Structure 1
């Protein structure tokens, strides 16, 4: 009697993605770690391009997306003209929407690149598209009116100058292309990152139906039955103590740092030293918690910035009298230790500080893969995705349309 022939199940097709505004590839690494193949990257920053080439030397690398047609992008990625594309991801330059900048929104040249990216989504027609950006996108107007031209005795803001106008325009363009869109402001710590980093993520589906929100894996509270947030101590476990590269604090600031413990900032200095340490900033408004800030060991780190030694956004080691090193930055953004970052030290800080944490990329990948498999995601009702309210597509739309 013959032994039965074992049937070999066909391997599921590889899910393929195109990456735009790739930076040093934090989002892309997250996709790859979940099994999604990145076929192409793009960036205009010379240091980021060198980083991509160092780590993925055979990956097709494009420059300014405005210089490429949809057919040209398909060809560069090795896709047939009619081949269905699974996924496009990208984080268009965020300075146009940052609350720390001039908030020019889509008037800004970088904002126009955002619209170019949406046009490419409409032309390339991926099954899914993911757009990542800063929290300021939720409130940026379509057209910015300078503050000195607002107020009593001046014309009221028109609809295009109202809060949220830029995102409304973006949603309208995506909807017109047939995409259903969901979004939220996501704290990366809720997905396993050792960093409290909040980013808006738009999830777009070609079938016109909004996608579920990302499924959290960690939480700051025990009531959802998830593991607690990962900490700085956990992220740096096994990191060699020597061989770090970092900028330095001037001696006049180090004298105050030597008085601070892990997790403390300028408010923990002796009261009589605070005005001297802070200078004119002492009398300014706001919490100013970024001044003389040592990060805590047993919490996620604050949001990494592009320079850890700027007075208002310090990121100092919990105990050593120095800013965080680039090696520590990489661990907090979850890059492998052997992931090469090109450029000068300041260029390296900028690239890693701007990156998407790998855990957030993995959460995005898991959602996309679940949708392709027809799987239902785990839902956590009323989950605190971020510290802000009205940041999901339903409550945001309701609050924005209610504005005068």
Structure 2
């Protein structure tokens, strides 16, 4: 089979991104009646690109304000685009959250609000609850990011420390009609977890938030603990009448991107194996992928090569070292360490938003000679893994993937391409 493995992997990544881009998916979901005035608000890495689609398609009066990550903006004529920090919130995110809340307060039954939501919105729309400072939220956020907590656990804490998340933004819009259009970046595509669910009811509790902080040994100020022990810290619960006119629609999810990549695989002559959305420590998830790849190479199971293993989701990294690298570099470094140059196996791991953690790369590529080339450079995969230095490892191999911000986000994308099986069953 004549194929350039690295080129194919990059094509699969591009296909996954394109399948979830607002320009491709949003318009079909907008209300059929696009006349009259609409207020557009939004938060997330895709917010600016989503706002562009609404501006292009809406026939009536449009105004509004959206916030996205630094570098992820896009030019809009009627909707203001503000950039702020992610994954740790900053003063810009705090300021824009206050403005968003003011914009939707005191609306009437005749008003319509479109809320454009995507991954990253939780950190970008940062408005601490009464008595909690931005510095408090920043320190707790940093600790959660390093702890290995899942995105669901992190967002449970964030919701209960917020004046805008956990349904509170939707409640502020009442009695206006609210249409939330969301691009999912979380395993399971739960509306309550995507960007901490600002316009949907939330069944989680403050007691659960406290338990999460205790589970990961995260120290919090007395003011935070006092707040979480107060009934006022509870989010808007299911059945609350203030959300009766709030409608939620998922417009893109990781599975769509995996399926689009699978179609591309078949067109190239490779059988796809979709593992779906996965959670867990990046290095441990990589070991499972390595085991499947090895079984395919050695025994042609659970499918025969040539094939591609596809997976998405959001893994976590418990930071123990001082190296550079996000979840995807960590995954790929652990995969490299596990396979140690297994012939005919290539892999790509990248974040569909174009930014792996807080670095300037989307991810990286592993080839069968990556392990040996690194050894020749004096690099030990296991030592670099201990130091959480996936970025440094693949930078030395000139194997980083740099896409710039993509302005969408369905989280991680992983593809392991296997050219042939030895099928040695002895």
- Range of TM-score over shorter length: 0.3 to 0.5
- Which structure has the highest helix share of the two? 2
TM-score calculated relative to the size of structure 2: 0.36
